[in-house]
Each structure stands twice: as structure tokens, then as C-alpha cells.
Chain A
Amino acid sequence: MSQTVIQQDVAETDTMFDVELRKVFKVYNGETAVRNIDLNIRQGEFFSILGPSGCGKTTTLRMIAGFEEPTGGEVLIRGQSMANVPPYKRPVNTVFQSYALFGHMSVWDNVAFGLRLKDCPKSELQQRVGESLELVKMDSLARRFPAQLSGGQQQRVALARALVNRPTVVLLDEPLGALDLKLRKEMQLELTTLHRDLGVTFVMVTHDQEEALSLSDRIAVMNIGKIEQIGTPTEIYEQPCTAFIADFIGDTNLMPAELATLQGETVEATTRSGLKIWVKPQALFKENPTREVLVSIRPEKIQLGSTDSSEIANRYDGTLKHVMYLGNHTHYQVELPSGDVITVFQTNRSSEQLKPGMPIQIYWSASDSLALPV
């Protein structure tokens, strides 16, 4: 029965989903942790679930792993329903945030643990464990015990221990959270290399937006138990659906405003302070006209200085209030006559020094100001 259903899906969409969540709901002691999640994760994809702590992202991952049963809805892996399938019978392996290495076993035995339980023949076991350790560059430390390893090395062993079982899906719970910045950058690069070379589906949970943007093929942004948007990193950053996403991922200038009547591609919005901004409304507003919106402008899309281009709809005179020099770029705060303070990021190309108190002009195009639902 279910087999035919999958084949129909494949025929229709021409993609196979490794993980599907259908209307998944999770209630803990009367509190809803995850509400009505629908998620399709493609085969071979590096998929991230991004959100602030307590948004339900780890609970979602634990429901895929089988440590939690959904209160409602269904989890499918390769089209098979995972209802009442315990974690040890699911074709997934997890890299835990705390690594959860077995302290009484050597690195080798940690990695061999899963294969030994499956009664893998000895020669195959030797070969696969060796290969996995080589893959994460830990083959020379196979005889060590976890307590004798650094955090980064433990992380590699945890990865090898998951990968050696050749799971359909690798689940990563904040895999780099416990590492320092430099090591994290290094491991990020290795994770993408591993993912590309192995072609296995990776599902990662993280609260680090930069990590999600740089590693993922697609990202689901979660907030208070709900998925707010699913998309590629560019879509999530450039076309956020909600003010929460615009604010959570990267930096933004958010201003409550009222839209004028929609006509054509751009429309004028008036902020509470009386500032008029030309914005590019989303399709959503064309279908359901609302007047109350939040206008979002990314600080790096705003230019300092004057322009003659007639395509630039938004130009303002202001006063420079604060300058924060950060090496490769500078953050400026510009106060407009309306009283609004706009943050502007500029890369440091010239050594020209702007001083607070100087009069300054700023401009950005209408397509760089988004109108988002309140």
C-alpha cells in the first residue's frame, strides 16, 4: 500500500523525500512545544532547523530520531511511517550536542558500537570503522579514550560513530555549539565537505544563523513551535516572510508603517513619525490588502552619500549620530529630521573618516525595503 503511494509521489514531484513531517504536534505537560509542523526534507539535502532557544527545534529533531513521540501528526522516513518505531529501529543516527561518547570505551569501540550490535562480520567491521575514522581524520587516535581528546576531536568521533552505520539521515543537534569560534569555522568546512562527499541527508538544528546560512541547502526558521518560513539561505535572508525572521537573521531597521493604496510594483509607506518610504510589497499584500505593516531595510543595503540615479526612490538628509569602527566594516547611525534613527553598514574601502555630528545623506532603492506583516 504505502509503497505505491511513494511511487506516485515520486512520479508527481520527481523528488524523493527522506524525512516528512505531516501536521506534527507535540504537547508537554499541557504546553505546546511544536504546533502543526509540515516539513519535507529532500534526499541528500543539508537541511537546517533554525530558531531561538525554546522554539521547538530540538523537540522536532528528537521526534525524527524517535526519542519523542508526536502527540499528533506523523513522521515518515523514506515514506515509511515511524509511528511506534523505537529509536533503535530507525534508519537515522544522531550527533548529540554533548557528543555523548561512551567514556568506558576507546574511540575505536565507540565507532564500532553500532556495527557490533548489528552483528556485522569482523572483516567488514574493521574496514568500515577504519574508513569512518579516516574520514574524520581520527584514525591515528583510535586507541585513545574520549576523556583524552579535545572537544573538536570528540566531535569528530561522534560524527564517525554516526556515519559508520550508513544511516539514511544524519541528525545533528547543535553539533558545533560547544566549540570555540576558530574550531567551529574549521568544522563547518569539514561538515560541508563530508556532506558533499557522502551524499547523505543531513538535518541540523542550530540557533546560529550564520552557521545555518553558510552550511544549508535549505533552512526552516522556527519560532514559538511553528515554522515561519522554509527556503534557501538567500530566500530566507533576502525575502523574509515575517518581521521575526528579518530581525532574527542578520540585522535590520524595522519601522511600523501604513501602506498607501497598492498600485504597480512599488508603493509609498508612511511611518508613525511621518517618514515616507517607497517599498516593494510582497504578493501577499496584493491578495489581502492590509494597511498596517512593518518596513524592514537591511543596514548593508543603505548607501551613505548622494546619488543622481533616478531609480533610487528613497533619499534622505540626516545627521551622523554614532560611528562604530569594526575593522573590515563600520556601523553608522544616522538620525533623520523625522526623529528615526537608521543603522547603516558600510565596508571600509577608503580611509575617509566620518565624524559624529556631520550632516550626511543616505539612500536605498525601493526593492530593498520590504513590507512585512505586523
Chain B
Amino acid sequence: MNSAPAKPKLPFSWQGMLTALMYAFMYVPILVLGFYSFNDSRFSSTWGGFSLRWYDSLFNDGRILSALGDSLKVALIAVGLSAILGTMMAVGLAKYSFPGKGLYLGISYLPLIVPDIAVAVATLVFLASVSVPLSLWTIIAAHIVFCLAYIAVVVSTRLAGLNPSLEEAALDLGANPFQAFMKVLLPELTPAILSGCLLAFVLSMDDLLISSFTAGGGANTLPMEIFSRVRTGVKPDINALSVLLILFSGALAFLSEYIRFKSAQRQLGQ
């Protein structure tokens, strides 16, 4: 059937070598880290045999577990609130035109390009100037800033690809504007909202800079805990923790892409 000539296969090429080198540069450190997390020896320089003792000690480490609790609390609350606000923002921006819309659009997506350190310092200075005491809630507030922008971007992209007549079709069939939103627009946007949430969740779990500037009242997130420990040298239990975090983030990223792929399959051409 297919008469196209088979592509020539090069057993060895500089393109292939460059690609291999790039991947090695990216992933070898992670592999090394994973390797040492199973090292029975306390020191990275020697191999003391295979062991799961660092994973075991991790799950018995109260400080790690409470930091994980703080991180999850921040991420879940920030992402949950951002999902509602971000969706409303994307829908509102797509639907209505109002004076200053362009400016508003630009400002809302600014957190995506402003360096984290700038956001962190600005938030701290602002909180100090209005004398809000730092706590876990100030971390959450700061995380909402970037989570909101990420979710709104993902939802906006999906909205732009959506048939503009869908909502009118729902109204035409007897749905009032609220029913049209709940029964047609929201289900069509759900994959994008979920995918945006997963992305924002990973970013929030991963954030060190903004959290450490805005944390107070004993709040301590997982990245903050890890950072404070590695200042005095990397211990094998941190290796184990890093491996778990990588696997977890990878799984979430995969899930997010899978949802996007599935919804793109179902999306109608037009």
C-alpha cells in the first residue's frame, strides 16, 4: 500500500549522539539520586548494599510528615480556590468585553512571567506594609496568585477552541443561562480545569522561594524542610524523599496530559 521509501537508518549520527548526551545530562543526576536512595551506607561515596531503610526512616520522621501535611494543605486549598476563580476569570474574559479588558488580561497572566523571587519579595513587602502576620494562610494567598494564572491560561485555551454556538444551542433548547453553564459549558471545560489544577498542584508542591518568604507561625512546607536539611549536607533519606517526589510529580504530569489527550479526542473539529 504505502509506496513511500523507508527512511534511511543511520546506525550512528551526530544528531543521535547529541540527543543521547542531552538526555544523559538531564536524567543521569536523577538516576544517581535514585540509586543512592537504596544505598545501605550512610555515605554516598561507598555502596553498602541494597536497602529500604531510608524510605523506612522517612515515614517515621515526624518533621517530614508534618511538612508534607503543610505542603498538601497549601496546595489543596490554593488549587481548589484557584480552580473556581480561574475558571470564572477565563469564562468572564471570553464572554464579556469591558473597558480596560486588554490591561486586565495582561495583568492577570503576569505571574507566569514575573520571576518567583520578585513575586516573593513583593508579597512579603506588601504583607508587611498592611501588617498582616505571616502564617500558613499567607503562603496559600501567595500560591493562589500563580495557581490562578496557570489554571486560567489552560481553561482559556480550551474555551478558545470551543464552538461558540454551544452555549446558544443550550439556551435554544430551553436551558436558562445558569443551566447552560452547568450542563454544557462546565462539562466541556472540565478536562481543562482538571489538567490546569494538576499543573498548579505540582507547581505549588514544588515551590520553595515564595513559600519561604511568606511563611510564618511555624508553617513549614516540604521543599522548605528539604532545603533546611541539605544545607548541612545531603542525607540519604532526602534522596529517598526526592525519588518519591519525582515519581509523584511525574504521575500527576502524566495524568494531566492524559486528560488533555482524551478530551482533545472527544472535542469536535470546527
Contacts and interface: CB of A to CB of B under 8 A. Distances in A.
Contacts of B165: 96-98, 100
Contacts of A97: 165
Contacts of B169: 94, 96, 100-102
Interface of B: 163, 165-166, 168-176, 179, 183-184, 187-188, 190, 265-268, 270
| Interface residue range, chain A | 20 to 34
Interface string A85-111: 011100011101111111110000000
A165 B171 contact: no
Contact of B168 (A92, A100, A101, A161): A100
Nearest to A105: B187
A114 B174 contact: yes
A88 B163 contact: no
Interface in A60-118: 65-67, 86-88, 92-94, 96-104, 113-114, 117-118
Nearest to A117: B174
A146 interface: yes
Contacts of A154: 268
Given A93-B172, A154-B268, 19 more contacts: A88-B174, A88-B176, A94-B172, A96-B168, A96-B169, A101-B268, A102-B184, A102-B187, A103-B188, A103-B267, A103-B268, A104-B266, A113-B173, A114-B173, A117-B173, A117-B179, A118-B174, A146-B268, A165-B173
Contact of A88 (B166, B172, B183): B172
Contacts of B266: 103-104, 145, 147
In the A-B complex, the 7 residue pairs with the closest CB atoms: A100-B165, A100-B169, A114-B173, A87-B171, A117-B174, A104-B187, A96-B165
15 contacts: A65-B172, A86-B171, A87-B168, A87-B171, A96-B168, A97-B165, A100-B163, A100-B165, A101-B268, A102-B188, A103-B266, A103-B268, A117-B174, A117-B179, A147-B266
Interface of A: 65-67, 86-88, 92-94, 96-104, 113-114, 117-118, 145-147, 154, 161, 165
A160 B187 CA distance: 22
Contacts of B175: 88, 113, 117
A148 B176 CA distance: 28
A46 to B, nearest CB: 20
Scoring B179, B183, B190 by chain A CB atoms within 10 A of each residue's CB, the highest score goes to B183
Nearest to A164: B173
A114 B172 CA distance: 9
A104 B163 CA distance: 13
Contacts, number: 72
Contacts of A118: 174
A35 B187 CA distance: 39
A146 B187 CA distance: 15
Contacts of B187: 102, 104
Contacts of B172: 65, 87-88, 92-94
Contacts of A88: 171-176
B140 to A, nearest CB: 32
Contact of A67 (B168, B184, B188, B270): B168
A114 B174 CA distance: 6
Contacts of B184: 102
Contacts of A146: 268
B259 to A, nearest CB: 13
A11 B173 CA distance: 33
A117 B184 CA distance: 12
Nearest to A151: B269
A338 to B, nearest CB: 52
A362 B268 CA distance: 54
B173 A161 contact: yes
A167 to B, nearest CB: 9
A66 B174 CA distance: 12
B171 A104 contact: no
Contact of A93 (B163, B173, B188, B268): B173
B13 to A, nearest CB: 40
A44 B171 CA distance: 24
Nearest to A146: B268
Nearest to A94: B172
A312 to B, nearest CB: 53
A147 B173 contact: no
A98 B270 contact: yes
Contacts of A96: 165, 168-169
Contact of A113 (B170, B190, B268): B170
A281 to B, nearest CB: 46
A94 B172 CA distance: 7
A154 B165 CA distance: 15
A102 B190 CA distance: 13
B53 to A, nearest CB: 49
Nearest to B168: A67
Contacts of B173: 88, 93, 113-114, 117, 161, 165
Contacts of A65: 168, 172
Contact of A102 (B166, B171, B176, B270): B166
B182 to A, nearest CB: 11
Nearest to A93: B172
